[in-house]
Amino acid sequence: MDGNLGRPAPRIRQVLDTAEATWDEALLLFLERSGYREETYHTFSYSPLSGDDGEVAGLLCVVTEETDRVIGERRLKTLRSLAGELSKTITEQEVVSCIARCLGENQKDLPFTLLYLFTEDGAKPALPAQPELRKVTRPRQSQFD
């Protein structure tokens, strides 16, 4: 059983004790939505509420979902990096290495990528480079498996 059951979370306790507002920006939460676990980001704002006697009587917690903004910024960063680095390339091998490196930096959106080059007649693909794959650790088997 959770040891905090029935007690306010630390962030809430801080606002109630100090009467100072605080926030958590772009907090990563994995939520079950549409039948699968989804990466989401939320900003939580905690503000104290005063009672008639001027003492803190409660708090207001406003939550704003920022998933689209956070993921969009991350993807734009990849595109900016790719565009900036490609402008410095000259040879085919430099282009291939640049693409592999830039795409390999964004493991959250691109956990794996394959880059193919085709012969001039378009008949035969070749795999000139693969970004380094991170080793995935296997989760421990639970007692319910």
**Each residue's pLDDT expressed in tens, for the chain with a length of 145 residues:** 455 556 668 889 999 999 999 999 999 999 999 899 999 999 999 999 999 999 999 999 999 999 999 999 999 999 999 999 999 999 988 998 999 899 999 999 998 888 888 888 888 888 775 555 555 555 554 444 4
Query: What angle (nearest 5°) sits at the alpha carbon of residue 106, between those of residues 101 and 108?
Result: 150
- What sections of 24-66 are H helices per DSSP? none
- Cα–Cα distances in angstroms (integers) from residue 81 to residues 30, 59, 72, 127, 137, in the given order: 27, 42, 14, 22, 28
Distance of CA 38 to the CA centre of its chain: 11
- Decide: 92 and 80 in contact? Cβ < 8 Å: no
The single-letter DSSP state of residue 15 is H
**Total residues belonging to the chain:** 145
Query: What angle (nearest 5°) sits at the alpha carbon of residue 63, between those of residues 59 and 69?
Result: 155
pTM check: above 0.75: no
Buried b (16+ CB within 10 A) or exposed e, 44-60: eebebeeeeeeebeebe
Cross-strand bridge partners of residue 29:
40
